[in-house]
Structure 1
Amino acid sequence: MTSQRHWSQMQDWSLDWGMRLLFAVYRRCGRRMLQVFLYPVVSYYWLANAEARRASRDYLARLAAFEPDLKLSACLFHSYRHFLNFANAIIDKLAAWSGLIDINDVEFVGREQLLADLGAGRGALLLASHLGNPEVCRVMADRDAAVKITVLVHTKHAAKFNRLLRLYNPGSAMNLLQVTEINAATAMLLAEKIEQGELVVIAADRTPVNGGRTLSVDFLGAAAKLPIGPFVLAGLLKCPVYYLFCIKQDNRHRIVFERAGDALSWRREQRDAAVRQAASQYAQRLQTYTVSAPLQWFNFYDFWQT
């Protein structure tokens, strides 16, 4: 039996040249014409990448068993639709970075409470995921000029994404920060950003790149591993913690800032239990939103490590 690769070792198909090409088509010809270009690209990737296709079908099978009312299955057609949704999310990512998503196309939920917390003089930690398109939250930075956002990413492509971001929108208030692990230096840097009133965004649904500690939670009816780092970080930063979800419904982006509570705190002997509880709570909320937008789950690897 061949061992499954870690997600960070899988090739990212939304590389520099591809993003530039798709974005050029989008700007010159519009979204409808872009779909024509997407079909052959998605078809090639769907056919050529057996590992991602297998992961898609595994996810869809679990989802169908967990929530039969969705009328989805692990068939090839639904898997292909899954990939098409991912391709369109990349286009939305480009549009968000370049300022082409109109504020009227975005619905905010929980924004007022988040701004109230920021108004108290400190920042907040946002626990995101690979459901939907969290990058669209940069629209909030356009609308609220004082809001600055730092997104932690774990891939070597962060530098390329930053260059593209600056190319398309030099005045962007969103910054991508590459990290391979959450260590003391990372925590100190992020603590400074929190003290300056910034938002720090980190995805909490992928295991660490360097093989760091994980814990097991229930997700879609089976055990899945989550990284410990983001939840420990929530305790170290001592700031408000929110879940960030951004899904697309009826051609509108719905950005949800759901308050997870005040800063996590614990006595030393209680840390493991507190972190486990926080991770389980995050997994349950992620599960709820995943069921509401099932084809917008974009973890194309063996998430359950079967």
Structure 2
Amino acid sequence: MQVCALIPCYRHRHRLAQTLMQLRQYDLPCLVIDDGSEPDDAAAIAHICEQAGDGVQLIRHNRNRGKGAAVMTGFQAAATQGFSHALQIDADGQHNTQDIPRFLNQAQASPEAVITGIPQYDQSVPRHRLYARYLTHAWVWIETLSLELKDTMCGFRLYPLSAVMALIQQVNIGQRMDFDTDILVRLYWQGVPVIQQPTRVIYPQDGRSNFRPWQDNLLISWMHTRLVCGMLKRQGLRLWPKRRQTVDPQQGCPSQPTTPSIHWAKTRERGSLKGLMLMSWLYRHGGRPLFKAVLYFVVAYFFLTGRNARQASADYLQRLYQFTGGTSPKPSLKHNWQHFLNFSQAIITRLDAWHQHGQITPQVDTQAPDTLKQHLSTGKGIFILVSHMGNIELCRALAEHKSLRLNILLHSRNAEKINQVVRSLQLDTPIRLIQVDDIDPSTSIDLAQRIEAGEWVIMAADRTPVSGATRTFEIPFLGQPALFPQGPFILASLMRCPVYSMFCLKTSAHQWQVHWHEIADHLNGPRKTRWPRLQHACETYVAQLEQACQRQPLQWFNFYDFWARPHSMSPTQPTAKQDHTL
């Protein structure tokens, strides 16, 4: 393995001598590329290289062509001289030369790989530089459809010249400050292994930056645009995929897809735990505006790569548009994207509610109807049916504001990563969470006692049971039959208390309105009339859910095929045995 050091240099004469002196101990031939410095700087750079000895070679551009152009000139010279690898390092003293042995050892073990630094900054790093890196990280996640590349802006790298020369002969790489990210993403696309090493990076107090804020930011934006387009071309991605459908002449809506749908509880949780933890950390320490900016790109990544969720959104918008006679948002890629953005905004609001000292406190209007106030005055609790419509997490704010004790029944075992993030916040909240598949007769008795003591029980009623469609009601929803679980209504009937639905919908930037609807004063009664009574309650709930969808069409957050049904299952009426279970 033949390695040379490659130093792009533009006006950095004050630090160049020190950088060359630090490199001397590693016995690496050095190629210094002067990228068209002004005469005084050029003369000083030439003198420094001459004083450094025979191991240093100076190559000069007649005019400034950009950092990327200088590095690629160095690649060409190194390849011509027979080197197999080139170590790129900045001339301004930012990079830690003591890490060079680790880079060389990694290259010796994996000669086909790019060895690149992951910056470990000290207090000298300008905050705006740090924030800009987070934005670039988000773009790169989208461009590579991966979270593997931790940093693509660090210019401290060891390149295999064979892979690099093949790449720059195939495509045009950015020639200025867009170079480092551009070439690493494209090498990653080519399948070149990328080994990432933590390395200390400093910003000297007397440092001189060649970054041009307007011009280089425009170049970087254009680079990301090209890379995203390249990713789409490589993936053959269709943003609005068509499915083979038939039309139900009576309903006027697309019928069920011909391919089986995955049950929502079996949907694989996307994203990595580290990524979720990073986003939570970013919210707490980077501020809400920065978190919101990064989240925008994260959502764009999931929008581009989440074909099933994107199709589910399109199906929902189409059904709602037909159901409302064209008064809801017209199905389009624009509204499909806005649907995803609404979900991202709901995530921000959840963080505001979860954190003990949220940076912005959501304002929730919890005005209750008179019937609910009358019942609450008795000191007893109620059973509340909710949905994945709006932002039910704000019930935490409701609980704290009203000094209520809430018992929330949920299925979250398909979302263990986000659960770990929530647990890491160490929330002090009057909310008790119960897994729905942990419910047994003793749980029902305990919940009934809690309601008698004034606590509330909350359960979502818009998703079919984890066990499948064997215990469901078939109710028309947005003009098409859909399956709804029997369990919430059976449990509500065992509680012998008023049953309400509740929808927390966003009305403005930080304003939320809680909509209360009474479903029944109670659902208990004669056993022989239980089935029609519970089905009527479910129909009432579904009608209220339709009203919520019409109020805020883009706050429906069931991103799966809601109208699908497993072919081997059909809704059933409760048997005598089921009357006592969920």
User: TM-score, normalised to structure 1's length?
Assistant: 0.90
For 1:121-177, what per-residue CA distance to the aligned partner results, in whole angstroms no more than 9, with x for missing partners? 3211110001001110111222122x1111111121577666654543542111221
| Residue 129 of structure 1 pairs with residue 387 of structure 2 | yes
Matching residue within 410, 428, 433 for 1:171: 428
Instruction: Judge conservation of contact 1:110–1:258 (CA < 8 Å) in 2.
Output: no
Structure-1 residue corresponding to 2:512? 253
| 3-state SS in 1 of match to 2:437 | coil
Identity %: 38
Equivalent residue letter for 2:336: S
User: Structure 1, unaligned stretches of length 5 or more?
Assistant: none
Instruction: Judge conservation of contact 1:137–1:255 (CA < 8 Å) in 2.
Output: no
Give the number of equivalent residue pairs. Answer: 305
Instruction: Judge conservation of contact 1:14–1:90 (CA < 8 Å) in 2.
Output: no
Alignment of 1:49-88 (within 5 A): 49-88=306-345
Cα gap change, 1:66 to 1:235, in 2 (>3 Å): same
Matching residue within 473, 476, 493 for 1:235: 493
Equivalent residue letter for 1:9: K
> Which stretch shifts more, 271-280 or 210-219?
210-219
Instruction: Judge conservation of contact 2:288–2:359 (CA < 8 Å) in 1.
Output: no
User: CA–CA distance in 2 between the matches of 1:195 and 1:3?
Assistant: 44
Cα gap change, 1:160 to 1:54, in 2 (>3 Å): closer
Alignment of 1:18-37 (within 5 A): 18-37=275-294
Instruction: Judge conservation of contact 2:308–2:560 (CA < 8 Å) in 1.
Output: yes
User: CA–CA distance in 2 between the matches of 1:143 and 1:14?
Assistant: 33
User: CA–CA distance in 2 between the matches of 1:237 and 1:112?
Assistant: 21
User: Structure 2, unaligned stretches of length 5 or more?
Assistant: 1-257, 566-582
Cα gap change, 1:162 to 1:34, in 2 (>3 Å): closer
Structure-2 residue corresponding to 1:266? 525
For 1:67-108, what per-residue CA distance to the aligned partner results, in whole angstroms no more than 9, with x for missing partners? 244352332221111111112212211221224286672211
Post-superposition shift, 1:237?
0.5
Cα gap change, 1:189 to 1:164, in 2 (>3 Å): farther
User: CA–CA distance in 2 between the matches of 1:101 and 1:259?
Assistant: 34
Instruction: Judge conservation of contact 1:127–1:242 (CA < 8 Å) in 2.
Output: yes
Instruction: Judge conservation of contact 1:217–1:223 (CA < 8 Å) in 2.
Output: yes
| Residue 144 of structure 1 pairs with residue 402 of structure 2 | yes
Of structures 1 and 2, the larger Rg is shown by 2
User: CA–CA distance in 1 between the matches of 2:347 and 2:516?
Assistant: 21
User: CA–CA distance in 1 between the matches of 2:407 and 2:272?
Assistant: 21
User: CA–CA distance in 1 between the matches of 2:551 and 2:559?
Assistant: 19
Structure-1 residue corresponding to 2:465? 208
User: CA–CA distance in 1 between the matches of 2:423 and 2:259?
Assistant: 41
| 3-state SS in 2 of match to 1:78 | helix
Post-superposition shift, 1:257?
2.8
Instruction: Judge conservation of contact 1:85–1:296 (CA < 8 Å) in 2.
Output: yes
| Residue 298 of structure 1 pairs with residue 557 of structure 2 | yes
| 3-state SS in 1 of match to 2:549 | helix
Equivalent residue letter for 1:41: V
CA RMSD of aligned residues (A): 2.4
Structure-2 residue corresponding to 1:41? 298
Instruction: Judge conservation of contact 2:517–2:544 (CA < 8 Å) in 1.
Output: no
Instruction: Judge conservation of contact 2:410–2:434 (CA < 8 Å) in 1.
Output: yes
| Residue 278 of structure 1 pairs with residue 537 of structure 2 | yes
User: CA–CA distance in 1 between the matches of 2:445 and 2:506?
Assistant: 35
| 3-state SS in 1 of match to 2:287 | helix
Q: Name the structure with the higher helix share.
A: 1
User: CA–CA distance in 2 between the matches of 1:126 and 1:71?
Assistant: 27
Equivalent residue letter for 1:220: L
User: CA–CA distance in 2 between the matches of 1:118 and 1:289?
Assistant: 24
Instruction: Judge conservation of contact 1:181–1:210 (CA < 8 Å) in 2.
Output: no
Equivalent residue letter for 2:405: K
| Residue 188 of structure 1 pairs with residue 440 of structure 2 | no
Cα gap change, 1:162 to 1:79, in 2 (>3 Å): closer
- Structure with the bigger RCO (C-alpha within 8 Å, sep 6+) is 1
Structure-2 residue corresponding to 1:223? 481
Instruction: Judge conservation of contact 2:352–2:362 (CA < 8 Å) in 1.
Output: no
